[in-house]
Amino acid sequence: MVRVVIAEDSVLLREGLTRLLTDRGHEVVAGVGDGEALIKTVTDLDSQGELPDVVVTDVRMPPTHTDEGVRAAVQLRKSHPGLGVLVLSHYVEERYATELLAGSSRGVGYLLKDRVAEVSEFVNAVVRVTQGGTALDPEVVAQLLGRSRKQDVLAGLTPREREVLGLMAEGRTNSAIARQLVVSNGAVEKHISNIFLRLGLSRSGGDHRRVLAVLTYLNS
């Protein structure tokens, strides 16, 4: 049996999650509607020697409906390292997923709310997080890996090449870049040639290579 605290401002969804878990033999020890109440509830339970096994929380909750839920989750992971945390969201928010996973992915989950409809998958995710495992929605994984690939591409550039590419993204010509960096036009051309090479942009791309290089920089 897993002991759960649910944080969800929609009473209907909160009651639904409670029913899903209790019907499968787990215990929902508390249900709250905002981030502050979540932190207070877990803290109070811990002081009574009844720390729950896992928290299931929405990303967005009152009062601003932005990031109260995930901020509470991050705080609880720091203050209660053994507490499992499963975050639910309507869509993938990379910044919040990254913040939640910072340091360690042990005992953490991030699922889209659509997955709750797949009851067995949701309940298994709760149990897995409780046991120290990870439960990441496939969409979350796909987006985080995609961002990592973009960063890895730019990681191959030297500091000077990144600086040149940044100036290219500002729409500056080679001559303007040379004046800004106090180098020759030839040096700038060499840096740009190296940038194209490192980003895998072939000569067949012609002038489009400059546009593609800038887009890669902006998308990173």
- How much of the chain, in percent, has pLDDT values that exceed 70? 86
Per the model's pLDDT, the better-predicted residue between 188 and 136 turns out to be 188
pLDDT digits (tens, 9 = 90+) for 4-49: 999 999 999 999 999 999 999 999 999 999 999 999 999 999 999 9
Q: Using pLDDT thresholds of 50, 70 and 90, give the confidence band for residue 91.
A: confident
Contact 113, 60 (CB under 8 A): no
pTM: 0.66
Residue 207 has pLDDT above 60, yes or no: no
Please state whether 65 falls in left (phi above 0), alpha (psi between -120 and 50) or beta: left
Q: What residues have CB less than 8 Å from 29, skipping those under 6 apart? A: 3, 4, 5, 45, 50, 52
